[in-house]
Amino acid sequence: MKKNFILISLILFLSVSQAYSQSKNIFFLFPFYAPETSLGLVFTDILHFKSDTQKHFSALNLFALYTLKNQCTFGVAPAIYFDNQNYLLEGKLIYTNFLRKFYGAGNNTSKDDEEEFVNRAHGFGVGFSRKIIDNLMFGVQYDLSDMTIQNTDDDGQLQYCKTNGVISGAGFKANFDTRDNNIYPTKGVWIRADYMLYNSKLGSKYNYSKTNFDFRNYFYVYSKKLLFSYQFYGEFINGKAPIQVLPALGGSNLLRGFYANRFADNILLSFQPELKIKITNSIWLALFTGVGNVYNNLEDVDLKEIKTATGFGARIKIKDNPRMNFRIDFAFSNESQGTYFTLMEAF
């Protein structure tokens, strides 16, 4: 499987790098850290490319990571614009073998109910979008994954949960994008809405639907030294989904400071603001916070019952055009804290 990923990536790299006036192939091999993984090593080969007249970069990303907890993930993820950015092809081909924790479903679960398991999955996804009007694209998508849970406790709660089998779903997506840059934006908005239906008629073991909504806004509040951004994010599941795909708070991108998947249920709502402060051209400081929660159904949604996390960090530029940062974050919640060393922004 690894050889196939590498071969596919090399073919794509060679074919697109000759067709665009701006193309750059970047190799990264660096250590990273997160509470969920401990210390790890990640390799990524990213090709960004676009013509002089295009605003957004297309990207091909070959990645592989391994951690001291014997976790591993590798895959290929393309996002390629065609025909002067009138069309967008997105995809993923991925294998993962990751140690995770499960606390039960709901927003009042106890850390005492923590149960470790190994989530092993492989699959692919593809989406194709067409520009309808300026900045607005609409498309279709398909997702297929085969998942298994291993190394569970004999008397744990996971034995009563639906966990193993194939999920197969198709759906629609809409994308509105006025950002000046899709890799490191400094102004504009990005709105994305997705709907996926997983059904036995498509070969899925589970029957449910999933809706995602993501709103992001970026702007300078003082000259070009204070960059403010925020994100509204929501996930909604209707039906019986396996616990691996339940909307969940925590991790390096969503309410940093909570352990990944600490709270999971059918509905997730969150809001995250972040302020970046320029120190030098290469170094920015970041202050961030986040509020959110998970719920079983719409009737349970209570915006007065929220969980909060906050923190600070640094952004260190490692390349230009498009800019990419090494991210260092120190985050805190009311029950835990997290330190994150990784690439790219949280949103």
pLDDT band at 143 (very low <50, low <70, confident <90, very high): very high
- Work out the number of other CB atoms within 10 angstroms of the CB of residue 53: 8
Q: What's the rounded mean pLDDT across residues 310-318? A: 94
pLDDT digits (tens, 9 = 90+) for 248-282: 999 899 999 998 889 999 999 999 999 999 999 99
Q: How far is CA 86 from CA 167, 179, 188, in A?
A: 30, 16, 19
Average the pLDDT over each of 6-20, 219-233, 309-323 and give the range with the smallest value: 6-20
Amino acid at 147: M
Of residues 311, 338, 324, the one with CA closest to residue 28 = 324
**pTM (2 d.p.):** 0.84
Q: Compare 24 and 69 and report the one with higher pLDDT.
A: 69
pLDDT band at 23 (very low <50, low <70, confident <90, very high): low
Strands 22-34 and 248-249: unpaired
Percent of the chain with pLDDT over 70: 91
In the chain, where the domains are located: 2-343
Does the domain made of 2-343 have the CATH classification 2.40.160.50? yes
Asked whether the predicted pLDDT for residue 39 surpasses 90, the reply is no
Provide the token pair at 163: 């966990």
Of residues 345, 347, 344, 346, the one with CA closest to residue 28 = 344
Of residues 175, 145, 176, 177, the one with CA closest to residue 163 = 145
pLDDT band at 5 (very low <50, low <70, confident <90, very high): very low
Cα separation, 343 vs 295, whole angstroms: 31
pLDDT of residue 190: 97
Mean pLDDT of the chain: 87
Asked whether the predicted pLDDT for residue 52 surpasses 70, the reply is no
Q: What's the rounded mean pLDDT across residues 161-166? A: 80
pLDDT digits (tens, 9 = 90+) for 90-134: 999 999 998 888 888 889 888 888 888 888 999 999 999 999 999
